[in-house]
Amino acid sequence: MGTAADKFRDTPPTIPALDPERVSLMEQHGLTVKQLEPLGVEIYDADVRSRLPDSVIKALEEEMANRGFIVFKHQPGLTADELVNVSKWWGAGEIHSTHGVHPATPGMNRDIFRCSNDNRHGILGVGPQWHNDGSFEAATFSHSAYYMARAPEKGGGTHFAHQGAAFDVLPKDKQAFWERLVSVNSATGVTHPVVHTHPISGKKSVWLHLGMTGGVIERLPEEGVSIDELQKQPANTDQLRLLNEDEMKQLFNDYNDLMNASFEKDYGIRYQYDTGDLLYIDNWALAHRAAPEAHMSADQQGLRIMDRVTVKSPRNLAPHFGLPQYIKISGAHPLNKDGVWQSGGVGFRWKDDIPMQN
């Protein structure tokens, strides 16, 4: 029996290695840099309570864009304010908070989203499906911090998949199809391209939220017109259609399989934290989900406490084809009647037997 990975192309690795000049710069400022395989970077000998030079911050941000995430190792005991301050190094230099505050959050800090496998210590069940944080925002978060205040004794990490390398392994016909798609968030009606070009790495990258999508709009192809030209051209309603239920299920299952195939195709990693790890992702380059073990009870795995901080993006993740950044998802849509157009809650349920909380 074949695996999910059999649906996708075998391509040479497309995640670039660490840049030697950037590594040299970091080392000049006392950092020790370790390249993880096949993606990610660990940083040793840093104390994030003290701001790094701007040149080093820029180099780290570029490595995040290329390799997906960085981890500052051995940062125990960070206060809420210290975690928030270091998170302002990235993106627009501001925090973008959109969540509730759990009673166990240190200082009831509005910018900390505390997750746990014990409801006395944090919010349960967060992030079981592949997603990007802040999909309900036009300027979806540029970066997210995951600070492991307490790592469980028996594991409970995070799965990461590189969305640029994922696009590269898609069959050519699916690349062409996905580049003509725009998703509509089920909660806010914000629109995002299913394939975008990353603003720092320049890589074409897939992007789809499996838990909060209420519809997907297709721009119909035109003979002799390239996808780059189509994306720049405003489309009228005759050139647009909504995916129907079968097409939505196919798209979502293909996307889920594409992310799952990352471990076999070498563009994904199952990262296990140590207490005191401070991990940052480039949220436009990397999809993630909580490992199943992360949702096991504290009695089974040991207590897990993670603090998340989300960073404001300097730009919107804007749709193609002249589509508006927001469409009223709670209203009627003028496209084909058999298309999926679903508002509220978790959006379109592409599979009945999975938890959808994100």
Kindly state whether residue 249 falls inside one of the protein's structural domains.
no
Q: How many domains does the chain have?
A: 1
At 355 the pLDDT is 65
Question: Would residue 265 count as lying in a domain?
Answer: no
**Taking each helix axis from N to C terminus, what angle separates 54-67 and 20-28, rounded to the nearest 10 degrees?**
140
| Dist. CA 82–CA 92, nearest whole Å | 18
Predicted pLDDT of residue 87 = 98
Query: Looking at the domain assignment, is residue 344 inside a domain?
Result: no
pLDDT at residue 1 in the model: 53
In a domain, 88, yes or no: yes
pLDDT value of position 357: 54
Query: Residue 76: its pLDDT value, please?
Result: 95
In a domain, residue 82? The reply is yes
Range of the domain at 300: 18-157+271-311
Sign of CA dihedral 131, 134, 137, 140: negative
| Per-residue confidence (pLDDT) for residue 155, from 0 to 100 | 86
CATH of the domain at 113: 3.60.130.10
For residue 276, the SS3 value is coil
199 domain-assigned? no
According to the model, what pLDDT value does residue 356 have? 60
User: Which segments of the chain have a pLDDT < 50?
Assistant: none
Helix, strand, or coil here: 52? coil
Residue 132 CA to residue 317 CA, distance in Å, equals 12
DSSP string, 100-133: ---TTSGGG-TT-EEEESSTTTSB-S---S-B-T
Distance in angstroms (rounded) separating the CA atoms of residues 124 and 10: 37
Q: Which residues, including other chains, have CB under 8 Å from residue 156's CB and lie 6 or more apart?
A: 117, 290, 291, 293, 294, 295, 296, 301, 304
